[in-house]
Structure 1
Amino acid sequence: MAQQQRALLTRQLILSSAAEIFDEKGFDSASIAEILDRSEVTKGALYFHFPSKEALAQAILEKAVTTEGVPPQELKLQELVDIGLLLAHRLPREPVLSAALRLSTDRSARFRFGTRWPDWLQVSTGLLQEAREHGETLPGLDPGEVAYLLLCGWTGTRVVGEGMPDRGSRLTEDVAALHRIMLPGIALPELLPRIEVTVARAKRLHRTWVRKNAAATRS
């Protein structure tokens, strides 16, 4: 078991190091030598877990779609907002998530590996369909169309913000603002006061998730 745990930790270390370099330089400019140097593992260890740089990119993209840390909510629209808020809070803190977005928006990498946009659309569309069935949304709402626009808005907020020094560190704040602006065109007016769209909520969700992970690791 100890050996298995060490192997998992080594794999995660390699993946995180590769993610940092992909995020900093892009896939094409990153090299295996830099990943080895950053992770401080042997070439044999790296190739044991990942046979190529392409395999590293694929493994990063496999982790792009995550709803970890978001518990089910009575209002499905709250759950949808929570996913966007928590992801915004996690992304600058987790190289793998940040690199997955970089790979998805990099033209060369996108054509080589594809993206996880369809999977994110499926998650968001499913929650919006549930919200519609529960009577939370405005009449005539198209869940797929709204999910697509939310995805475009979230991604654009990150991509544009990175190129603006005064907004690069404000992803959670900007994603919260995006949801506050869009929700009146999605939710029934009487439900809007019940949906919390704040940075404080993102931080609470993150703290709770981190504590649960720490407790699970100790046990």
Structure 2
Amino acid sequence: MGRQQRAVRTRRVILEAAAAMFNDFGYDATTIGGLIERTRLTRGGLYFHFASKEQLARAILDETSALRPVPPQPLKLQEWVDMALLLGYRLPRDPLLGATVRLSVDLRARALFGTRWPQWTDAGEELLCAARDRGELLGHVEPAEVARLLTASWAGIRLLDEALPDGELCTQFAVFLELVLPNIACPGVLAKLDTSPHRAAALDRAT
């Protein structure tokens, strides 16, 4: 393995370890000393990649600022559903994504770094606007309002699941979608939408 490849792999190891600690302990209680112990790197080795805990947090947020695009579908509303299902599938499996939610609800971290809620909400709104333009949404639906609701639900469902675990997170997202979709989708479109949580694993492999 070349030096550059080792550096990329080490950087990823550091980011994932820091993300796990932010998830487990919160921003304030996570320390560089604890991260060095977890990664078994030297202090110099860690500082070669990240000069501070603040830089680590910013790097994690930057890595997850844009949600990975979903595969194109005949219905734009299905793409919006797929985005929600994929997030539910990835949150417990991707430490950086999980840490982004944790940092975004941590008052101190939020004051320092802001959140990624605007980017995530914009991604949902873009798909919903495209669905509206294609006649897939009921006439009363405001894409910005629905996109904001989905982002808030992502965070709330994730945090509640951590406190009161109750099965697969993606299944909880699917239940949420099944409750929301009859209020926003035209009947002919609603009948064609697939909200199965099992869909998410196949989508993840395809992206």
TM-score range, shorter chain: over 0.9
Structure 2 Cα separation of the partners of residues 65 and 78 of structure 1: 22
Aligned to 1:203: 201
Structure 1 residue runs without a partner (length 5+):
210-219
Aligned to 1:171: 169
Measured after TM superposition, the shift of residue 194 of structure 1 is: 1.0
Structure 1 outlier segments of 4+, above 3 Å: none
Measured after TM superposition, the shift of residue 63 of structure 1 is: 2.2
Measured after TM superposition, the shift of residue 68 of structure 1 is: 2.6
CA contact (8 A) 1:70 1:205 kept: yes
User: TM-score, normalised to structure 2's length?
Assistant: 0.95
Aligned to 1:212: none
Kindly provide the amino acid, as one letter, of the partner of residue 181 in structure 2.
Answer: L
Structure 2 Cα separation of the partners of residues 117 and 68 of structure 1: 15
Aligned to 2:123: 123
Aligned to 2:64: 64
C-alpha distance after superposition, 1:60-83 (max 9, x if no partner)? 111224433621212111111111
C-alpha distance after superposition, 1:12-64 (max 9, x if no partner)? 00000001111100010011011111112221121111110000001111122
Query: Cα gap change, 1:65/1:75 in structure 2, threshold over 3 Å: closer, same or farther?
Result: farther
Aligned to 1:153: 153
Structure 1 Cα separation of the partners of residues 51 and 73 of structure 2: 41
Aligned to 1:187: 185
Structure 1 Cα separation of the partners of residues 10 and 69 of structure 2: 24
Query: Cα gap change, 1:145/1:99 in structure 2, threshold over 3 Å: closer, same or farther?
Result: same
Kindly provide the amino acid, as one letter, of the partner of residue 4 in structure 1.
Answer: Q
Kindly provide the amino acid, as one letter, of the partner of residue 136 in structure 2.
Answer: E
* Larger RCO, structure (CA 8 Å, separation 6 or more): 2
Aligned to 1:48: 48
Q: CA RMSD in A?
A: 1.4
Structure 1 Cα separation of the partners of residues 181 and 65 of structure 2: 22
Kindly provide the amino acid, as one letter, of the partner of residue 55 in structure 2.
Answer: A
Identity %: 46
Query: Cα gap change, 1:122/1:195 in structure 2, threshold over 3 Å: closer, same or farther?
Result: same
Kindly provide the amino acid, as one letter, of the partner of residue 147 in structure 2.
Answer: A
SS at match of 1:55: helix
Structure 2 residue runs without a partner (length 5+):
none
User: TM-score, normalised to structure 1's length?
Assistant: 0.90
Query: Cα gap change, 1:69/1:204 in structure 2, threshold over 3 Å: closer, same or farther?
Result: farther
Q: Which moves more between the two structures, 96-105 or 67-76?
A: 67-76
Aligned to 2:135: 135
Structure 1 Cα separation of the partners of residues 124 and 70 of structure 2: 13
- Aligned positions, number: 207
Q: How does 1:89-108 map to 2 (within 5 A)?
A: 89-108=89-108
Q: How does 1:21-40 map to 2 (within 5 A)?
A: 21-40=21-40
CA contact (8 A) 2:66 2:119 kept: no
Kindly provide the amino acid, as one letter, of the partner of residue 199 in structure 2.
Answer: R
Structure 2 Cα separation of the partners of residues 97 and 62 of structure 1: 11
